[in-house]
Structure 1
């Protein structure tokens, strides 16, 4: 966890462009956006991958989706539509091993994503 870049953001050791924060999560603008709106929503609790989720994390994950909805509304993309994506492990596209959710919107998103 000491090497985790997202834990350093949570701890305030690395600056980020924060769009939302509460006692459970923090959301900030992605430094390499793939859409006009591209934010990362991360739990403050370090959880490496989706495979590491425990039964008592259910409320936290539900909270993350409520935060995604709030941010989408605040950013004005809720009505047109948006996407929430979480990658797991290397072949799934995960590059930072602290679970995180990409909130993407502001343009038409194609399927499949890649």
Structure 2
């Protein structure tokens, strides 16, 4: 846990969240500023700055994040209609929290990517 990390504080229970799914490796909760009808964040319990750092340090944990994202889609009832996984890395992606996390988005027709 990193003392000044928002997601580490959420995982620790210091900041409230609406849990959707959790296990020993990950914690998934609703985004407080949803960008679609379903918007859940899947966060590894272990702190890693971004998806690239996580992949290099612990590829198995990155796989756990993806597997959990798939389970979140099933729980939310969007596994058959379709969903999007997004990792934001760096300033151009508008990353605001420096703890690797997967966005699970769906529940409606999503706009295209890019400009």
TM-score class, shorter-chain normalisation, is: over 0.9
Match of 1:99 in 2: 100
CA contact (8 A) 2:41 2:103 kept: yes
Match of 1:72 in 2: 73
RMSD between superposed Cα atoms in Å: 1.3
Q: Can you list the C-alpha shifts for 1:54-108, whole angstroms capped at 9, x where unaligned? A: 5441111111111111111111101110001000011122110001110000011
CA contact (8 A) 2:54 2:100 kept: no
CA contact (8 A) 2:88 2:95 kept: yes
1:18 aligns with 2:19: yes
Match of 2:33 in 1: 32
Q: Can you list the C-alpha shifts for 1:21-53, whole angstroms capped at 9, x where unaligned? A: 111100000000011100000000110123423
Give the TM-score taking structure 2 as reference length. Answer: 0.92
> Which segments of 5 or more consecutive residues in structure 1 lack a partner in the other structure?
none
CA distance in 2, matches of 1:113, 1:54: 24
Number of equivalenced pairs:
114
> Which segments of 5 or more consecutive residues in structure 2 lack a partner in the other structure?
none
CA distance in 2, matches of 1:66, 1:73: 11
